[in-house]
Amino acid sequence: MTDPSKPVRKRRRPAFSCTECRRRKVRCDRAVPCLQCTAYNNASGCTYEEGHRSLPVRAASSTLRSRQQEDRTQSSPNAPRHPDVSPRTSTPAAPGGRLQGTISKTRVFGYGHWMTASSMGEEFSIFEPIGEYYKNVFQHADHSPTDEVTKIVVECKQLARDIKKQRPSRRRLAVDIHLSFLDRQVMDELVALYFNTFESCHRIVYRPSFMAEYKNYVDSQGSSENPFLLQLALVITVAGALHGDSNVRGEIAAKAPTWIHISQTWLSAPLEKDRLTLKCIQVQCLLLLCRQIYHVGADLVWISVGSLMRMAMHMGLHQDPNKLGEMSVLEKEIRRRLWYTILEMNVQAALDSGGPPMILDGDYNTQPPSNISDEDLEHVVREEELSNNPSRMSLQSLLAKSLPLRLRVTRIINSLQEEPSYNQILNISNELASACREVTTVLDQAASTSNSHPTAKFAQSYCNHLLRRFPLCLHFRYAIKAKSDPLFSHSQKVGLEAALDLVSLLEDDLYRRLLLVGGGMFRDIITRGVLLIFLELSPDPETETSNFAKKRNRARQDPLLRDAHRVVQYSEDRIRHGDTNVKVYVVLHMLMVQAQGRFDGSLTDDNITKALHDGLYTCHQILKDMVTDINNQNSNNSTYSDIDFESWTSNDMNMTAQADFGMNTFNNVDDANINFDFLDYQLPSQWADQTWS
């Protein structure tokens, strides 16, 4: 037995990786020599610390709980200081009751986050033939200075940095926002475009009130309140990505980051309680949409939507208006619309972030919004008329039916505590499939009875995207195992169908404009969907190899090849529209050449090598042209020259809004120059006295 008089010696967590992998902070498979050292021609240098080789080769990574315990121990005043030995690279957490997900730097992700796809690389058999080429370009740190490929990679990285330097997070911000607005005719088009597209699924702005204030703005700009000016700026920003004129899209894309930062600055002003209004809730919802569309902190939207949800709950939006005392039918409906808009944004952002939705369906009792249109809502006097007079199909109310289910699905996908059984996945997948079928039926009926206007098609595409990504994420990690384990063949089938559904969204010209520029959820096709398509195109070693079988297989894979070609072209087009992620396009281009070579029977190592070079050269030229265009625009006519910076910024105030965007400096708003006369919308008087006309 252990002598109780002796102190218990605390043991440090042993290091199982080889010394070279620990030095480079890369993942080690703990073989002798390991795969990383073998790939880097350093097999002789693959050594391990003595005393740790008796453990299994595939030892699991430590759990989140042990990490937290280490943090508490190291933060104690009397605790000894130890060097940080936590992994820096994305690594899947260990199975068997331990953390389920991915740890990357300072963040922890569930399987809903796209980074978990890259950490599962060893599961993708399609990556094996191109793995060495990819590693030698993007991961090897000892290239010769004369390596032309390496030089291009370095130049691409530098060009990407130059492009990002142009973003307003490193510039002074202006708040005199209306001076930068577009011509009246273009603004009219953008306002109408917004209400006919995004408002179908996100009921954020009440149209009659907005249009009345818009008319007042046109007649007398000086009398418009700041909340409305921000709403107007964000509405035209959201719709700007869809406008038919490429010049208008380009002009708005250039101004959008500044408008977004101005809005964030205003929302983060020290007068926090004065921001607890429904108008400010609307501004925040529009702001979150803009950030995803224009890549302004798109990966951190989950953090912001959590703040928005708590603000909404603080204002009582999670409680049904019938429980909050007397208010008009109009006010009740607007509150319900806003709450379910926030819930929808929350569940989508949680899925993207790899985090939990942070709310259960039992945490709120607000009833779903009705189907009534904004125009008819003006004339409703009694609440019973809402259900008796559905003037049109509301996609928001359709999405609201499946929200409790999708909250559960997101919680399962991103759970960090335990891995669900596959039977649980199949059961909830059946519920999800039923919900998707119901929505598809309604959308098909609406498409057959309504006109084929592009905005109507956009609304249906957006609704489908909001739903179809859930079965894709739910089955993704099981689908990639189906090649080696037939038990998961159902997940491969469901995942592939969901991926192809998302690829078909590219056929909608209007929605494709959004997919070309959007971040967050709008990258689903290239972060997950296309991987399942290429996995389906990879050869199955147990497949029948007779001539008849080859013909059948060729006929089955031909449509998949066309879809894969379309996605690779789409990935290149995203770079032309401002995306700076070179790796994604290069890898997809190599996978495409590999799949096509297998299909034609002409696959060679030279083909893949050439694909790597061609992909890099293409990206390098696109980024180089982009930097040239930006420099020309800045020298000829600055995007921000029409805004009076000096009258709207102040260096004497210190605000804390930079935390949401990760900026080092943030110029602030001078209260003396802003009209804060909007307190008639604040709590608690809004429930009794607020008007919406």
Q: Where are the alpha helices (DSSP H) in 518-581?
A: 524, 530-537, 547-576
Q: Are 114 and 527 in contact (CB under 8 A)?
A: yes
Q: Which residues of 207-225 are buried (b: 16+ CB within 10 A; e: fewer)?
A: bebbeebbeebeeeeeebb
Helix axes 530-537, 547-576, angle to 10 degrees: 150
423: nearest Cα among 499, 472, 498, 478:
478
What CA–CA distances, in Å, run from 243 to 204, 237, 620? Answer: 20, 10, 28
Q: How many CB atoms lie within 10 A of CB 610?
A: 13
In this structure, what token pair is assigned to residue 493?
Answer: 């089938």
Q: How far, in Å, CA of 520 to CA of 295, rounded?
A: 8
- Distance (Å, whole) CA 375 – CA 365: 27
CA atoms 561, 123, 584, 249: torsion sign: positive
Alpha carbons 133 and 583: distance in angstroms, whole number: 12
**The pLDDT of residue 60:** 36
Q: What are the residues whose beta carbons fall under 8 Å from the beta carbon of 95, sequence distance 6 or more? A: 60, 419
Nearest C-alpha neighbor of 608 from the set 128, 139, 109: 128
Task: Assess contact for 371 and 353: CB atoms under 8 A.
Answer: no
The distance of Cα 285 from the centroid of its chain, to the nearest Å, equals: 15
What is the number of alpha carbons within 13 Å of residue 58 lying toward its C-beta?
5
CB 651 within 8 A of CB 261: no
Residue ranges of alpha helices (H) inside 175-225 are: 184-197, 207-219
- pLDDT score of 202: 94
In the block, tokens 């021609």 appear at 41
Nearest to 242, CA basis, from 300, 189, 205, 291 = 189
Comparing CA positions, the residue from 575, 569, 570 lying closest to residue 625 is 575
Write out the two tokens for 203: 């009921």
Phi-psi region of 612 (alpha: psi -120 to 50; beta: other; left: phi over 0): alpha
Cα Rg of the chain (Å, integer): 27
pTM (predicted TM-score):
0.74
Q: Is 665 exposed, middle or buried (0-12, 13-18, 19+ CB in 10 A)?
A: exposed
Q: What is the pLDDT of residue 381?
A: 63
Ranges of each domain in the chain? 181-380+392-397+642-693, 424-519, 539-632
Q: Tell me the two tokens of residue 314.
A: 């603080």
Query: Apex CA 443: angle with CA 441 and CA 448, to 5°?
Result: 95
- Report the chain (693 residues): mean pLDDT per 10 consecutive residues: 49 73 81 80 76 41 40 40 36 45 63 70 66 64 61 87 67 59 94 95 94 90 81 96 93 91 82 77 97 91 94 90 85 94 97 93 91 81 61 80 96 90 96 94 81 84 96 95 91 96 95 94 91 88 66 84 95 94 93 90 87 94 90 64 43 34 34 32 34 35
**Angle 82-85-88 from CA coordinates, rounded to 5°:** 145
Please give the backbone phi and psi of residue 682, each rounded to the nearest 5 degrees, phi first: -90, 165
